[in-house]
Amino acid sequence: MNALLEIRGIKKTFPVRKGLFQRVKGHVNAVRDVTVDIERGTTLGLVGESGCGKSTLAKVLVGLYPPSEGEIRFNGKPIIRAEATERIDTARSIQIVFQDPYSSLDPRLPIWRSIAEGLSIHHEGDASTLWRRVGEILELVGLPPNAADRYPHEFSGGQRQRIGVARALIMDPEFIICDEPTSALDVSVQAQILNLLKRLQEELNLTLLFISHNLSVIRHVADKVMVMYLGAVVEIAPARQLFNAPLHPYTRALLSATPIADPKLRGRRIKLEGELPSPINPPPGCTFHPRCPLANDRCKREEPRLKPKGDASVACHAVEEGRTE
């Protein structure tokens, strides 16, 4: 296996403080034990509904939050550990493209300064080489090089997202996290950004972690898909298999909720009852059991572990026991 990024048992909890003395009154379990390998040159899609810990995981990976537990290895070398306070410098080859292109660029700086910020921090080259590099990168993402001294408010949402991609690319990263890069864009522009990312991946042999709650987008870009629910991984499978034969009842519910244009092709909708439980007080046993149509007594007591089944891995007692209805 040629795994570029190995995520080992990452947990992230946030303390909940209340009252006059800000005493810790519990923890939000934003990410609960995520373990996954991402192979070089592939795209891992990460799906899940709002608040399931997708973005928290992304922020742990780029070092914005230290993980509460676990370790991340990059090219076999550990780069982020629970105890370490500082990222090791190799982590600069992990970059991120943010969700909202309207807030991810400093409105007071011309875009070339936003793009070149990473390079200038690492003191690489003088002003003219920086400038040339910015021009190259802008062309790579499909913007005219003379756009460099314009300001963010002079660009459209799609163009801004291209600038966001340029900022990530200028560091020559091997691994890029795309944190819902298309969710703030119009549908027509979404496709442009997705195709840009795919093209760049091929040209530069990039490895991507693509976070989205839009399954159609994931289907378009991902080689492997990871489904998260309430901070935990419920299913990891090759994309084709996940979309054709989803295993976990949550994945099936998610897929059945995807809008399909042709009414004849629409299958039976699986409607999930209830709300996403609170991550401060997750339900005992399988966290999905209050909403799961297949839940039995075992699901209420025992938390399922992620177990391989064929090419996929799934965390579900029902799948394990072969209960499907």
Partner 1 sequence: MAIADQKMQDFSERLTTVNEIKGRSLWQDAFRRFFKNKAAFASLIVLAAVVLFTFIGPYFAVWSNEEIDWSVLGQVPTKGIPSFETGHFFGTDDLGRDLYSRVIQGTQVSLLVGIIGAGIAVLVGTFYGAVAGYFGGRVDSAMMRTVDILLAIPYMFILILLLMVFGRSVLMLFVGIGLVSWLGMARIVRGQTLSIKNKEFVEAALVTGVHPFTIIFRHIVPNLLGVVAVYATLLVPEMILTESFISFLGLGVQEPNTSWGALISQGASTIQYGTLWQLAFPLFFFVISLFSFYFIGDGLRDALDPKDR
Q: How many CB atoms lie within 10 A of CB 169?
A: 21
For residues 175 and 95, the answer to whether their CB atoms sit within 8 Å is: yes
**2 φ, ψ (degrees, to nearest 5):** -110, 70
> Which backbone phi and psi does 149 adopt, to 5 degrees?
-95, 20
User: Of the two residues 77 and 153, which places its CB atom closer to partner 1 in the complex?
Assistant: 153
| Residue nearer to partner 1 on the CB measure, 158 or 249 | 158
3-state helix/strand/coil string of the chain = CCEEEEEEEEEEEEEEEECCCCEEEEEEEEEEEEEEEEECCCEEEEECCCCCCHHHHHHHHCCCCCCCEEEEEECCEEEEECCCCCCCHHHHHEEEECCCCCCCCCCCCCHHHHHHHHHHHCCCCCHHHHHHHHHHHHHHCCCCHHHHHCCHHHCCHHHHHHHHHHHHHCCCCCEEEEECCCCCCCHHHHHHHHHHHHHHHHHHCCEEEEECCCHHHHHHHCCEEEEEECCEEEEEEEHHHHHHCCCCHHHHHHHHCCCCCCHHHCCCCCCCCCCCCCCCCCCCCCCCHHHCCCCCHHHHHCCCCCEEECCEEECCHHHHHCCCC
CB of 7 to partner 1, least distance (A): 17
Nearer to partner 1, 89 or 273 (CB): 89
Asked if 310 interacts with partner 1 (CB under 8 A), we say: no
Smaller CB distance to partner 1: residue 165 or 247?
A: 165
154 contacts partner 1 (rule: CB under 8 A) = yes
The yes or no reply on residue 123 touching partner 1 (CB under 8 A) is no
> Does the footprint of partner 1 cover residue 15 (CB under 8 A)?
no
Q: SS3 for 263-323, per residue?
A: HHHCCCCCCCCCCCCCCCCCCCCCCCHHHCCCCCHHHHHCCCCCEEECCEEECCHHHHHCC
**Where does this chain touch partner 1 (CB under 8 A) — which range of 36-44, 75-83, 118-126, 221-229?**
118-126
Question: Any contact of residue 159 with partner 1 (CB under 8 A)?
Answer: no
Cβ proximity to partner 1, 62 vs 253, nearer residue: 62
Binding region for partner 1 (CB under 8 A) out of 46-54, 104-112, 193-201, 249-257: 104-112
Residue 23 C-beta: closest distance to partner 1, Å:
14
Q: Quick one: 33 or 100, whose CB is closer to partner 1?
A: 100
Question: Which range in 40-48, 147-155, 206-214, 225-233 contacts partner 1 by CB under 8 A?
Answer: 147-155
69 contacts partner 1 (rule: CB under 8 A):
no
| 165 vs 237, beta carbon nearer partner 1 | 165
Stretch that binds partner 1, among 6-14, 114-122, 235-243, 249-257 (CB under 8 A): 114-122
Q: Is residue 68 near partner 1 by the rule CB under 8 A? A: no
Least distance to partner 1, CB of residue 245, Å? 37
- 287 is a site residue for partner 1 (CB under 8 A): no
Q: Does 153 bind partner 1 (CB under 8 A)?
A: yes
User: Smallest distance from the beta carbon of 110 to partner 1, in angstroms?
Assistant: 6
- Tell the residue number behind the tokens 């042999």, with chain if given: 205
By CB under 8 A, name the one of 107, 284, 293, 310 that touches partner 1. 107
Segment interacting with partner 1, rule: CB under 8 A, options 60-68, 186-194, 209-217, 315-323: 60-68
Q: Which residues bind partner 1 (CB under 8 A)?
A: 59, 62-64, 87, 92, 95-96, 98-100, 102-110, 114, 117-118, 121-122, 146, 149-154, 164, 167, 171
